Structures are given as structure tokens and as C-alpha cells.
Structure 1
């Protein structure tokens, strides 16, 4: 994962109609705009819109040179037909018909079936990275069956790198620590290493650095809280309304950013790259306007003095590495 924009990837959960409908045309425009800007990392999952994000991403990339982009998807949730869902919408946050449902399955057979279905939706014969997706309540099967199945698929050349993607750091650390050497290539860490909070710093990131495991940071805005310079009262944090003290902390960070001529979103996007284990980061966008705003925020790194002032004000601990 190279410098500048090539270090940023496009996450596609918004393009699977997360919380609000996005048209096919709008989704295609976002992916095309990302490509034109130089983004070459794309992340998706069956979970995102019950396969809709995979279909949209595959359609947008089908005429792009395959060796010029890196695409990741995930396994762990099989999509199965659900006739009982006719006439209602998905109840897992995506504005899509509920005629398909998710079934947790981290068995070896489930991994192979899930990946085969993803390749069909994407219109591809291989993917570059496959993550175990949110195995929080499925450690035994994910570690004992799914991960070995992915290792086998990697050896066969069906997938490139393999790992796990989660909203917690503890189980990711367990995958890295307890798996066979070189079994895990990369982890996707959402929300737990951000400008707001860094609970993954003490154990997961040093462990990944020691083992040569790449870290892809996601959820850099903590689900919206850090996405705007002016933090609203109803800002979201971890997909819920942010507590007042968390909003206050974000506003204090934003004020320091303003003093240094930068913005809260810019600092949030640059922050994780201060750690040597972090090799890339994902941003999401449901419109070209959102995409361009994020790319513009990443166009120039914040001044070094910003990080020192954040430490002085108790908003960053002394041991936290910064860009």
C-alpha cells in the first residue's frame, strides 16, 4: 500500500444502502470518482445490503484492469433466500428488500460457499483479501475451521491475503497471537484506533508490527462523530447517539485543529498512519460530494505542532505515535 491516496481505500457499506437508499447511478458515480482520484483499494462484504454492495462494486470495476486494484470481501455470513421477507425491508440497517437473510457460518464449507457466491456477485475469478467478518461470538469455529479453510484457499491461489475484520481489538489480537505463523496476513480494525480513542495501541498494534501483519484502519470517524469540524449535538458514536462527554471531547480536539489551520476530519484521517503497523485506511461515502470532501481532507497532512498541542491538552497520551 503506497503513499498518499493509494493508502486510502473505499469502504462500500454506504453503497449497500446503509441507513438510506443510494441509487445504482449514485453508487457507480462514487466508485468512478474514487478511481479517477487514484483510489485503488476497495472493500466490500455480503453483509452490506445483502449482496448489493458487492454487485455494485463488481459492475463498476468489471472494465478496469484487474491487476491495478486490490479488492477485499468477507466471509462468515451466508446469504440464503427468504420468501417470508417479501414486502418488507432488511432489519439490519440496510434499505434493501428482505428476500434474502444472513446465516452465520464459519465452517470450512460455509467459507467456500460464501466466497463462491461473492465471486459470482462481483463477477470476478479471485479476490485479493478475504476477512473473517465479525466472528465475535464464533471464535471456535472461526479459528478452528474458517481460518484453515482460508489458508487452503490462499495456497490454491483463489485468494491473496487473509485475515479478520472486527469492531473490537481483543479477538483480532487473539487471531494474530494464537494462529500459526504467517496464517494471518492482515487485520481490519474498525473504530478502535482513531484520533478519539486508541485501545488497540497497547497490545494489537505492537503484536501486528512484531508478526508482520498489516493493519487496515476503518471507522476513522467513529461512525460520524469526527466527520465534521463543527460537531453537532446529535453526532453519532459507535452507531448510536454520542454521549455528551464524548461530544465535548471531540469538540476540544476540533478546537485544537482549528488553531493549527486544519480540520477534525483531516486530523482523523491522518492520525492512524502514525503507527508503523497501519498500512492503509478505509473511508466510506454515499455521494461524490462526501468522497471529494474526504479526499480533500487527506490531501495535506496536519502540521506537526497539532499533535504536540493535543498531548499538551490531555487529548492524546504521550506514548501514542503520530504522523
Structure 2
């Protein structure tokens, strides 16, 4: 069986909650293109990162996600360099970034959020940010996040000023993410490593987000790589050593996929893409050719029998990230 890649204009655009933005079912993740060897295990040169950003901006997907803190702003710088080459953000393209804490001092204040956003504007060469996420708020208490003069208030101020179009929240712990969504301030959500072939922690969170009209973006469908490269290459899930039981189940998934002639990466990606609650799924890329490879995985023919085989192989709840 061979994978089929649709032409670049064949990916439908879906509404991202009530934002009015319409995005493709796959979002290009800009973390790796900025070079994050400590997380991903390899370096990416500035030129390769810029070429990758260029491929993302001109390829079959209209959604690119980055963050101020990725490689100390290097991801945004490389995207900014690519934007300069093509004369700005293409029409209909959605570029999202995230505001970050100060990684030196740990500051997660309102002033820091403003500095972070201003740095993003400068690096990307933009005068407005269409979609900005509060990034990893688990690094501060919910009370501090919502306090007067705190990070959320600062983001709301920048939104009123027109610097930010739509606000989102991006982080890990599912109950904390739900608390932020319940404030009514956020139109988009990124959850990561918690809705994959092996981890279903975010199930209730996805339901709640949809009920609130929040657009859901699912990050890390490959669990940091193991659900794309396989256990022969990686034994980590979510950037840490995976439990033996999780690895056992992934190996069973690999065998099932191989029996059907399907790359496990195709199954891992489409597990997320086919979920009606998820608007778009983030796939990090570090090489220009990865864009076409991701499109191929997203459109690979997967028989129903494989989904039926994979479903009971999900790891038990005690191994989920929550």
C-alpha cells in the first residue's frame, strides 16, 4: 500500500472556534526550526531553519505556530527572516505565537508578558499578532496568573489596544487549562502530549473546550517523536523516558501498523486530525522536506481495521500525563 499526498490546495480550512480564523487540519510547529537540541536532540542551522519556515509559509498548510521562548527567540527570528524574503504573511495565513516567562528570573508578570509580546513583534517584523497564547501557565499559580497586573490582565490590555487579535492558552496540566478556559478570556487552546495514541488525558478538556466555543489545537501527536520514529529510535514519551508498559503498547501499535503497511506516524497524526473536536494538529518540523512528508502522513489511507486494532492498545490511565 502506498500513501497518497493530496495537492497543496486540497486541505480544507476549518473554523478555529469563534475566532473567525480558518486553518488547515495540520499546523506547522516552529519549535524545532529554531534549534532546540536539548529537547529534540539535534541542531538546526539558521539557514536551514529559515528555509524550513519559508516552506511552511508557502506550503499546503496555512497555520504556523511558534513561541517567544523557543531557542531564546531564534524560532521567531528565522520565521521573520522568511517573512522578509516573501514580503510578509501570505493572505489567509495564520501565524500564532506565545508569550513566555523570563527564563532567567522566572518572572511571569504582566510586564513580562508585554516585553515578550513586544519582542515577538520585533523578531517577526509585524505590527500586530493575530493569535497569541499564554504559554505554560503551570509555571505560576492560577491565582497569580489571574491577579490584577498579572499576565492575563496584561494580555487583555494588549488585545484592547489592538496589538493582539485573539488570545489562547497553551500548556500541560488538563485541569489547569480548563480553569483558564472557564474564565471566558481565551478563544483557543493548545494541549500537548495528552491526546495521542497512548495518552487520553485531555478527553474531558477537549469536550469542555468545544462546549465553550474554544478552538482546539492538539500539540505533540507523536509524543515527542516515539510515535513517529518508533521505539527502535526513541524510548522517550513527552521528552522523558517512557514507562515499560507504554513502550510495550507502542511496540504492539508499530506491529499492527506494519501489518497494514501504514507508518505509525500516519496513524498517530490522523488519530488527532480525524477527531472532530480538534481543529488543527501541530507537527514540529526542522527541514523543508518535512512539510511534504507531513502532508503525506496526513493523507495516508488507513483502513478501519487498523483503528479497531489500535483502540485497545492505549496505555492505562495510571500512565497518562494529566
Shorter-normalised TM-score: what interval? 0.7 to 0.9
Q: In structure 1, which of residues 173, 176, 180 is the aligned counterpart of residue 181 of structure 2? A: 176
Residue of structure 1 in register with 2:97 after alignment: 73
Matched residues in 2 for 1:226 and 1:47: separation? 25
Q: Which runs of 5+ in 1 are unaligned?
A: 79-100, 318-323
Q: Which runs of 5+ in 2 are unaligned?
A: 1-11, 15-21, 317-322
Alignment check: 8 A CA contact 1:75 1:106 kept: no
Residue of structure 1 in register with 2:209 after alignment: 208
Matches within 5 A, 1:42-191: 42-62=64-84, 63-78=87-102, 102-138=104-140, 139-144=142-147, 145-177=150-182, 179=183, 181=184, 183-191=185-193
Residue of structure 2 in register with 1:275 after alignment: 275
CA RMSD of the aligned region, Å?
2.3
Q: In structure 1, which of residues 6, 28, 39 is the aligned counterpart of residue 50 of structure 2? A: 28
TM-score (structure 2 length as normaliser) = 0.82
Find out whether 1:13 has 2:31 as its counterpart: yes
Question: SS at 2:72's partner residue?
Answer: coil
Alignment check: 8 A CA contact 2:193 2:220 kept: yes
Question: SS at 1:217's partner residue?
Answer: strand
Q: Per-residue deviation at 1:255?
A: 1.9
Alignment size in residue pairs: 289
Question: SS at 2:95's partner residue?
Answer: strand
Q: Per-residue deviation at 1:234?
A: 4.1
Question: SS at 2:218's partner residue?
Answer: strand
Q: Per-residue deviation at 1:104?
A: 2.9
Q: Per-residue deviation at 1:314?
A: 4.4
Matched residues in 2 for 1:215 and 1:226: separation? 21
Q: In structure 2, which of residues 29, 50, 60 is the aligned counterpart of residue 38 of structure 1? A: 60
Matched residues in 1 for 2:199 and 2:306: separation? 16
Find out whether 1:286 has 2:286 as its counterpart: yes
The runs of 4+ residues in structure 1 deviating greater than 6 Å are none
Alignment check: 8 A CA contact 1:176 1:184 kept: yes
Higher RCO structure (Cα 8 Å, ≥6 apart)? 2
